[in-house]
């Protein structure tokens, strides 16, 4: 079945640094989504990507849908303490989502 | 933005009892909702697809008689964990898709079976 390989598994960065994480797959997806999950909460949608090659920003977040529809990256610029959490990529096929394993982000003040 | 509300957020129940979790789409209609299970420090695993007015579709390995799903209206799906056991303790999350494939998630329900 479809699988997403998300990396890195975790990051511990200094406040103010930029962050980059990515997801790859051997499968093609119609839509790529990036979510952030805080402990004990459901995932919150950050960015949705619909077209191959699409580059979309949401504040300090930027994400791109790979031209082959098999990969995506998420960048966070000038990280702040509230960016801590787990970030998941998700690929949509049919009407279902498959999730990456998540990237745990910790920010040092 | 779209809002999906899940209730309760936490529940503790005795082994052998049943627990019902509700998932509501508050500002859009959802013919399809999804139920996920998440273990600590792991990703979300799809359990089943809830279809309004018809039977739910379960993923491989998920017991349909154990996890009863009802999607009686376009804004409400329920997941009932029947005869719960400690190994059913987990974080359960629902989602609903708006147009364009955007999935919005509920707040999650932490189930503890004692």
The pLDDT tens digits of the residues spanning B85-111 come to: 999 999 999 999 876 668 899 999 999
User: How open is the CA angle A77-B40-B81, to the nearest 5 degrees?
Assistant: 125
pLDDT for residue A66 = 96
| pLDDT higher than 70, residue B2 | no
First to last CA, chain B: 37
b/e sequence A16-40, b meaning 16+ C-beta within 10 Å: eeebebbbbbeeebebbbbbbbeee
CB contact under 8 A, A90 and B103: yes
B 55-114 near A (Cβ less than 8 A): 91, 93, 95, 97, 100-108, 110
State the Cα–Cα distance between residues B50 and B73, nearest whole angstrom: 11
The answer, for A90 touching chain B at a CB cutoff of 8 Å, is yes
pLDDT for residue A1 = 63
The pLDDT tens digits of the residues spanning A50-87 come to: 999 999 999 999 999 999 999 999 999 999 999 999 99
Among B32, B49, B101, select the one facing A92 at the smallest CB separation: B101
User: How open is the CA angle B57-B60-B65, to the nearest 5 degrees?
Assistant: 60
Percent of chain A with pLDDT over 90: 89
């Amino acid at each position: 079945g479809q699988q997403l390989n998300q990396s890195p598994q975790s990051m511990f960065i200094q406040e103010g640094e930029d962050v980059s994480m990515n997801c790859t797959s051997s499968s093609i997806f119609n839509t790529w989504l990036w979510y952030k999950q805080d402990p004990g909460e459901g995932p919150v949608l950050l960015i949705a990507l619909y077209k191959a090659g699409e580059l979309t920003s949401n504040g300090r977040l930027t994400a791109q849908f790979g031209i082959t529809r098999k990969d995506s990256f998420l960048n966070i610029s000038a990280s702040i303490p509230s960016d801590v959490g787990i970030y998941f990529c998700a690929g949509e096929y049919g009407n279902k989502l498959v999730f990456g394993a998540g990237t745990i982000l910790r920010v040092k003040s | 933005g779209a809002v999906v509300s899940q209730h309760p957020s936490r529940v503790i129940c005795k082994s052998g009892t049943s627990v019902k979790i509700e998932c509501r789409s508050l500002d859009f209609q959802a013919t399809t909702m999804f139920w996920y299970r998440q273990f600590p420090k792991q990703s979300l695993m799809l359990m089943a697809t809830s279809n309004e007015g018809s039977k739910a579709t379960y993923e491989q390995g998920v017991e349909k008689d154990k996890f009863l799903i009802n999607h009686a209206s376009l804004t409400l799906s329920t997941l009932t964990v029947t005869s719960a056991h400690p190994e059913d303790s987990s974080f359960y999350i629902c989602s609903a898709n708006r147009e364009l494939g955007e999935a919005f998630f509920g707040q999650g329900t932490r189930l503890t079976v004692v």
